[in-house]
Chains A and B, each alone.
Chain A
Amino acid sequence: MTFSHPTRRDFVLQSAGALTAVAIRPHLSFAAPRFAAPLNVGLIGAGRQGRLILAELAKIENVKVIGVCDLDASRRDAGSKRAPGSEAFDSHKGMLEKSSALSAVIIATPTHTHKAIALDCLAAGKHVYCEAPLAHTVEDCRALAAAAIAKPKQVFAVGFEGRSNPIYRLARTFFKTDAVRDFVSAESQSYRKESWRFPAPGGSGPEREKAENWRLDPDLSTGLAGEIGSQQFDVVHWYLGKHPTSVFGAGSIRAFDDGRAVPDSAMCSFGFEDGSRSTWNARLGNSYGGRFEVLRGTNAAVKLAWTHGWMFKEADAPTQGWEVYANRQQFFNDEGITLIADATKLAEQNKLKDGVGLPNKSLWYSLSDFLTAIAESKPPACDAAAGARSTIISIIANQAVAQNQLLPIDPALLKF
């Protein structure tokens, strides 16, 4: 992978009184997608994530959700109501057969059902956006990626959202420049306070409860590493341009000892061929610190927290000029330079301070990137091969957590 090396000219100072930000280069600006003709989309899976997807799609012009599919009648009806004019289906095959006008489908079903649904959608000639992780087994990931690669005229995007997030894209331009310099290590974490157990409708019985809680079924779940960590692993590996060759994992049940077998506390340490390491921790029993990724270089660390990003410079890092005036935020003894997407545009509008956080949800950028890829016949930010690689790594990481072991990651599994 090659990284661009921003020169002094790439950093444009925008002064707004005491408030100044590092401006990003124009190509990183993320404009709302516009389509010449309406794009008909179908949603498969109208649960929690499906509902978020419908809300974000509703914000995008010329995108029409014409089909909503879910096995559960109440979710199906609620989803269809959230997409006025759409037809409700109880199977994805029914929707694919009846909705010839569909251009694209978005899959937001449980992870272990992705492969069968996505293969059917590809066979029906649809563009596909599949939520991450891509699948629950290495074999499914590879089969799905191979099928997508064999259909180059169809866009296949995987919902690893960091790759289309403007702050993450901005921060990545700094990575491996003099601003951050040589990679030292990466640490990421995802801490939250919740049992990860989801309720079944009242009176629906144990079968439904089990189906709702596929995340807690060791045979179906990719665990915390897959369902939560994979988004963060993808960011780290996308930044580094390389993948780990081994992973040590450990896990335990610390907070929710309710008969579950899937750990509610997990850690992974990834090893790379050059000896460098990245670590990841996840907890369901305590939320302090939340979710972020830190990538350390010899000159600075970059901290990414999905809607916000910062750079923390070392005292001995060379001064590049622009950072003297940059917008800063204090974190106890450290001072972070705020990374602001679209800083130039916001400064022109005197809205720089308003724009410190992203103006849209991370999901919006990911969906917009997929739809733009269709409209402009270009690859999505995260294609099937990239999505499969990050998912495969997370599946092996989950196995390492379950076994409390060091496991190799065969590079051959990541080749497509």
Chain B
Amino acid sequence: MRTVLLAAHAMGTRFELVLVGEDPTHLRAAGEEALREIQHWHARLSRFEPDSDIARLNRNPAARIDPELVELLDLCDQLREQTGGAFDPRFAPDRSLDLGAVGKGFALDRAAAILQDCGIENALLHGGTSSVFALGSSPNAKTAKGWPIQLACSGTPLNLTLHNQTLSVSSTRHRAHILNPLTNQPASQADTAAVIAPPSPSAATLADAWSTALIVLGHRPDSLPSHLVSHIHTHTHGWSSSTPRSPTLIAP
């Protein structure tokens, strides 16, 4: 088996792909196509690029948009309702649209779909280490299938193994950039929140939105779908984890 590593800068961070397979030329070609997809969505979703779709919508809320973006905005609306407003892409004071909380996950969903179309079965994709998409297994996996991941936090790190799953991590450590849309104050209930989602076309998008919501809420709400696994870390209680439905969680 061969491993190919590719990376690109997008969405204010570094996306990295680790691809495993027999043919490195095909792995690189597939990985580059996935990176092009990530950069395509960076160009469309950035609120800082004046020619992005989001910038256009912020200039003119009635601007025409294409069905792919309509689909994403509809999903964001559903997630805002499900999270009770704890995830809100229109939270800015001027109600402008900012998909920063789900952009990386959405791009990873699209990139992973491309890799799968290309027949790639084993790969790890991440955006800035906070949004992760794991396909198949690491070449170094000896006993358990999957990709080993360690979540650092202010307390005991959490060791996970992801197999055909996505992981999103939100944290207030070293930064207080996550504002609670419900109180307009910095989120302070938890210092780290992680959500693991099983395979679906929007797995990483859902995980991204929910990890943001959990940091804001500080606890797992009833509205969080049961198939999404959550891990929330607070200074006082350490890790609080939901019961996973699949035996992929390795206890720390």
Contacts and interface: CB of A to CB of B under 8 A. Distances in A.
Contact of A84 (B67, B116, B118): B67
Contact of B50 (A83, A202, A354): A354
Interface stretch (A21-29, A52-60, A171-179): A52-60
Interface in B1-48: 25-26, 28-30, 32-33, 35-36, 43-44
Contacts of B56: 59, 359-360
A272 interface: no
B94 interface: no
A357 interface: yes
Nearest to B114: A199
Chain B contact residues: over half helix, strand or loop, or mixed? helix
A359 B51 contact: yes
A203 B120 CA distance: 10
Given A201-B119, A356-B50, A359-B59, A59 B64 contact: yes
A360 B52 CA distance: 7
B118 to A, nearest CB: 4
A82 B71 CA distance: 11
Interface residues of A, number: 33
A360 B51 contact: yes
Contacts of A198: 29, 33
A42 to B, nearest CB: 17
Nearest to A362: B51
Given A199-B29, A199-B118, A200-B118, A307 B64 contact: no
Nearest to B116: A202
Given A200-B118, A307-B51, A195 B29 contact: yes
Chain B contact-residue range equals: 20 to 34
Nearest to A193: B8
B32 A359 contact: no
Contacts of A201: 117-119
A61 interface: yes
A153 interface: no
Nearest to B44: A55
Interface in B97-141: 116-120
A55 B49 contact: no
A355 B56 CA distance: 11
Given A355-B50, A361-B51, A202 B65 contact: no
A198 B68 CA distance: 23
Interface SS of chain A: helix, strand, loop or mixed? loop
Interface in A48-69: 48, 54-55, 58-61
Interface string A230-268: 000000000000000000000000000010000000000
Nearest to B63: A59
B119 A203 contact: yes
B67 A358 contact: no
B57 to A, nearest CB: 11
A355 B49 CA distance: 10
Contacts of B66: 54-55, 58-59, 82
B49 A357 contact: yes
Given A59-B66, A199-B29, A357 B50 contact: yes
A55 B56 CA distance: 13
Contacts of A361: 43, 51
A195 B29 CA distance: 7
A199 B67 contact: no
Contact of B28 (A55, A59, A195, A359): A195
B32 A202 contact: no
Contacts of A364: 51
A277 interface: no
B120 A202 contact: yes
A82 B68 contact: yes
B119 A58 contact: no
B76 to A, nearest CB: 18
Nearest to A307: B51
Interface string A77-108: 00001111000000000000000000000000
22 contacts: A58-B67, A59-B63, A59-B65, A59-B66, A60-B64, A82-B66, A195-B25, A195-B29, A197-B28, A197-B32, A199-B33, A201-B117, A202-B119, A202-B120, A203-B119, A355-B50, A357-B51, A359-B50, A359-B56, A359-B59, A360-B51, A361-B51
Given A61-B64, A197-B25, A209-B26, 14 more contacts: A55-B44, A58-B67, A82-B68, A194-B35, A194-B36, A195-B28, A195-B29, A199-B118, A202-B118, A202-B120, A258-B25, A355-B50, A358-B51, A359-B50
For the complex of A and B, the 5 pairs showing the least CB-CB separation, nearest first, are A202-B119, A58-B66, A199-B29, A357-B50, A199-B30
